Amino acid sequence: MPLEPFAQSETLTFGVELELQLVSLSDFDLAAASPDLLHLLNRKPFPGNVTPEITESMIEINSSVHSRYGPLLAQLQEIRDTLVAGADRLNIGMCGGGTHPFQHWSERKIFEKPRFQELSSLYGYLAKQFTVFGQHVHIGCASGDDALFLLHSLSRYIPHFIALSASSPYVQGHDSLFESARLNSVFAFPMSGRAPFLLNWREFNEVFFAKMERTGIIRSMKDFYWDIRPKPEYGTIELRVCDTPLTVERAAALAAYLQALCRHLLERREAAPAEDDYLVYNYNRFQACRFGLDGMVTLPKTYQNVLLRDDILATLKLMEPHAEALESTAALRHLRQAVHGGSDATWLRSQYSDEGSPEGMVHAAIRRFRGE
């Protein structure tokens, strides 16, 4: 059965999803606390949406649909404060970060939900290793064709979002030497990577998706773990490469940067996306994951090698008129400061050094998420 029609959505509206860590305050390891926390939070109105994730040591929050950065930021801060109050009642901590620094995947418990149990049966230990934490951003698109155009046009900027959100340097008790090690867990899934180069929604739906469905491998868009994927039921594209930042302020700024980039790309003043853009895609993505802001990337149209940090700063400058129109200049200023001041991964490594233990680093991340 083909996908449903691409839903009507207001262009450039946006929303944020954040996967968050639930942490024991006794040993600062992950805690299987999501059933209790969700029960508590569902007893009164929640300023957004909160749902379980694949293991019981994590939850996902979803903002409402917004058109401007300020209201999105305000809602994310309200959601954070509501979550923190609930966590305090249960005596657990909550924090961002793309990975927990020393948890062991074998100790995780799959959440009791049919889809999660099915994924666990299919993917084996990969399901528990998927206890990693990401930020997803949805951008509203006027049509399926616009969605595919934006999806492929954004491929050149994927390293920006990896580097600016990087917050997963530690894995299973060791420094991975990556700025974003989380994405290595995502890449292990067979349907990860990037979407096929198609720019026509009818062809994507009636040819590509129909063929994939006939294989029996794919039943819905949820079965694709692509870096960016279309979501026809919402009328959006969904960017999926970001680690969960340590603060909701960084999360809101990243969403506003994506919104400004999409406004710029929809003006169609840049060269159109092409299949050959993906010749450098995997290498650029690796550079961003491994070295973050200090990575070297190859521009897909010119094959020029540039420092990712410089490319981000140049693009932030280019986005200033769009940010002004979208009322998000403060978001770009936040990200510019992050480029100069260092990523969340850099901050976590400095906290490890200052605190002298991974437990102390997690405690510091909990305080940072709370805004203390």
Instruction: Note whether residue 3 is domain-resident.
Output: no
pLDDT of residue 115: 87
Dihedral of CA atoms 118, 122, 124, 126 in degrees, nearest 10, equals -90
The radius of gyration of the chain's CA atoms, rounded to the nearest angstrom, is 20
Instruction: Note whether residue 122 is domain-resident.
Output: yes
pLDDT of residue 102: 96
Spell out the long-range contacts of 300-307 with Cβ–Cβ below 8 A and sequence spacing 24 or more: 300/155, 300/156, 300/276, 301/156, 301/271, 301/277
Instruction: Note whether residue 7 is domain-resident.
Output: no
pLDDT of residue 127: 83
pLDDT of residue 119: 84
Instruction: Note whether residue 77 is domain-resident.
Output: yes
Contact (Cβ atoms closer than 8 angstroms) between residue 263 and residue 12: yes
Instruction: Note whether residue 4 is domain-resident.
Output: no
Instruction: Note whether residue 89 is domain-resident.
Output: yes
- Encoded tokens for 194: 């990037």
pLDDT of residue 2: 72
Task: Give me the CATH number covering residue 189.
Answer: 3.30.590.20
Instruction: Note whether residue 5 is domain-resident.
Output: no
pLDDT of residue 130: 85
The residue range of the domain holding 128 is 14-370
| Residue stretches of the chain with pLDDT short of 50 | none
Specify the number of domains making up the chain. Answer: 1
- Encoded tokens for 312: 């981000």
Contact (Cβ atoms closer than 8 angstroms) between residue 265 and residue 322: no
Contacts of 273 (CB under 8 A, 6+ apart): 149, 152, 153, 155, 197, 199
In whole angstroms, give the CA distance from residue 368 to residue 372.
6
Scanning the chain, the segments in alpha helix (DSSP H) are: 34-41, 69-90, 114-123, 125-129, 144-153, 158-165, 182-187, 201-203, 210-215, 248-266, 281-291, 308-318, 320-326, 329-341, 344-355, 358-370
Instruction: Note whether residue 8 is domain-resident.
Output: no
